[in-house]
Structure 1
């Protein structure tokens, strides 16, 4: 919301501005999250990458599910 407020030219914020705000936030924080991902242990990194590929987390545990 802060980004939308800052990018609003005048008094009205339209729906068309939301994608631009999201892209701005992602581009602004990508380096920070890349560094954090690099610092994770390999197993944790693999779990996050798998969750990203699936689109949601299911049965995220350290052992087998019966």
Structure 2
């Protein structure tokens, strides 16, 4: 899974959802998101219009 500081998901109906501090995987089946609080979110592939992820680089010594 990839890590993102902010993950923005735009659906085909133009709704926008933002998630912070997540891990995610985008596959042909859809988008699987694991939030920092342990919640799992699945968005079907036909619902995803686009995604945008940003990640801050970790500082030396960060785990």
Q: What range describes the TM-score normalised by the shorter chain of this pair? A: under 0.3
Question: TM-score under structure 1 normalisation?
Answer: 0.19
Looking at secondary structure, tell me which structure has more helix per residue: 1
Which structure would you say has the larger RCO, counting Cα contacts within 8 Å and 6 or more residues apart? 2
Answer with 1 or 2: which has the greater Rg: 1
Looking at secondary structure, tell me which structure has more strand per residue: 2
Question: TM-score under structure 2 normalisation?
Answer: 0.20
